[in-house]
């Protein structure tokens, strides 16, 4: 229970840093890293706190990336212990952010502290990119920091994101890529009128349903060796005036594509538009791209992480591009190799979120092993 990683994780969990309110987490981490010789730069944008820290200089650049913000705890009455009072029961640490991802951040920091203490003149650069805006709209967090780094022509060669990737045992699954996410807000216009006189109105529900049915039934691609087929979903569908006898003036639909490298943003948009045009709808459609897909094939970073996991805890890691999105989608714009490795994700965003205490030290050891493999003898 005297583990430095556990102690730091508890200090972070105590701070109710619900997006984007950092509650001093990054200041705490910056102080820790500065004491180990890191150069600290705080990059606030709007209400969001960000931290960029570096140790060493030159290429290659290895970056730990993560977030200190958490989702709201929900109904406090359903927690076995208060979500922002870290509690250990039967070797398990409970608290909001324990798995997603204050435990990972703590493990990154303690791994880096040990590494630079042992190898103060290591090759290349060891960096941290931390934000308080990952669980929210993700506009003023990693996205803005990456824009700043790009303007400075600051590269990141390798990036390890501490997202909780593991399924049953630490290190059993790694994310070496993520699907892209394309959102659309569709409005189909009709003409409001009395429901008893449909010839004097135009029902947007009746007009839109055949087109939406066709879009839902479409096969967008077959996927490829790295990504599953593109999926399409309608997440919201709204129409009506609240009255039983009124044909509504419009229908609103929120749509989403999760897509890999077998499709493109422009291609998906064009195919949706062609269906809407063919059905002669009067519509408006606004698109929002949350992120392009990214993929890191086998290479120096993936091999270093897979080998470290196998040698430190005997697990053979599988590679996956499944799941949702992560801040890796922004860092990928720098041309970086990206891998995601973190704790077991069974309780993330849930009531009684937790992580095994032993897993935190295992994760810190693996992180340090990765640093040894990539930043020594370069």
Residue 2: per-residue pLDDT? 83
Are the C-beta atoms of residues 131 and 69 closer than 8 Å to each other? yes
Residue 194: per-residue pLDDT? 98
283 vs 279: CA distance, rounded Å: 11
CB within 8 A of 83, min separation 6: which ones?
A: 73, 76, 95, 96, 353
132 vs 273: CA distance, rounded Å: 37
Q: How many CA atoms lie within 13 A of 359 on its CB side?
A: 27
Q: According to DSSP H, which parts of 14-125 are helical?
A: 25-35, 103-118
The helix/strand/coil state of 88 is strand
Query: Taking the model in full, what pTM does it have?
Result: 0.89
352 vs 342: CA distance, rounded Å: 18
Alpha-carbon Rg for the chain, nearest whole angstrom, is 24
Q: Nearest-CA neighbor of 20 among 64, 66, 71?
A: 71
* Residue 342: CB atoms within 10 Å: 29
Residue 272: per-residue pLDDT? 98
Residue 324: per-residue pLDDT? 82
- Give me the active site residues, please: 69, 134
Instruction: Enumerate residue ranges in the chain where pLDDT < 70.
Output: 1
51 vs 148: CA distance, rounded Å: 12
- Helix 357-375 × helix 103-118 angle, to 10°: 40
Residue 325: per-residue pLDDT? 84
- C-alpha dist (Å) from residue 93 to 86, 87, 132, 351: 7, 6, 22, 13
Place of tokens 């995601």: 340
The 10s digit of each residue's pLDDT in 303-338 is 999 999 999 999 999 999 988 889 999 999 999 999
- β-partners of residue 189 are 250
């Amino acid at each position: 229970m005297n583990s430095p990683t556990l102690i730091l994780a508890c200090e972070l969990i105590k701070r109710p840093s619900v997006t984007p309110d950092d509650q001093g987490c990054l200041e705490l981490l910056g102080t820790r890293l500065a004491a180990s010789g890191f150069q600290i730069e705080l990059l606030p944008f709007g209400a969001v706190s960000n931290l960029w820290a570096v140790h060493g200089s030159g290429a290659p650049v290895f970056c730990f990336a993560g977030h200190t913000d958490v989702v709201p705890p929900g109904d406090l009455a359903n927690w076995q212990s208060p979500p922002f009072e870290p509690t250990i029961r039967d070797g398990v640490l409970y608290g909001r952010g324990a798995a997603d991802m204050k435990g990972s951040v703590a493990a990154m920091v303690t791994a880096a502290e040990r590494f630079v203490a042992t190898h103060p003149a290591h090759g290349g650069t060891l960096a941290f990119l931390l934000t308080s805006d990952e669980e929210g709209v993700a506009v003023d967090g990693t996205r803005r920091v990456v824009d700043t780094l790009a303007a400075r022509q600051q590269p990141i060669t390798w990036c390890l994101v501490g997202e909780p990737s593991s399924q049953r045992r630490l290190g059993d699954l790694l994310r070496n890529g993520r699907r892209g996410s394309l959102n659309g807000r569709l409005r189909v216009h009709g003409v409001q009128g009395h429901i008893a006189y449909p010839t004097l109105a135009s029902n947007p529900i009746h007009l839109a349903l055949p087109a939406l049915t066709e879009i839902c039934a479409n096969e967008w691609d077959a996927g490829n060796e790295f990504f599953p087929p593109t999926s399409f979903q309608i997440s919201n569908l709204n129409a009506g005036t609240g009255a039983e006898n009124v044909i509504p003036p419009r229908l609103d639909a929120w749509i989403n594509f999760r897509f890999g490298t077998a499709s493109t943003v422009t291609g998906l948009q064009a195919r949706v538009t062609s269906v809407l045009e063919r059905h002669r709808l009067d519509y408006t459609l606004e698109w929002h791209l949350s992120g392009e897909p990214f993929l890191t094939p086998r290479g120096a970073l993936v091999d270093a992480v897979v080998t470290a996991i196998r040698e430190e805890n005997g697990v053979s890691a599988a590679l996956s591009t499944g799941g949702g999105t992560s801040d890796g989608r922004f860092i990928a714009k720098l041309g970086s190799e990206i891998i995601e490795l973190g704790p077991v994700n069974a309780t993330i965003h849930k009531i009684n979120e937790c992580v095994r205490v032993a897993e935190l030290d295992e994760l810190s050891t693996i992180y340090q092993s990765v640093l040894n493999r990539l930043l020594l003898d370069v």
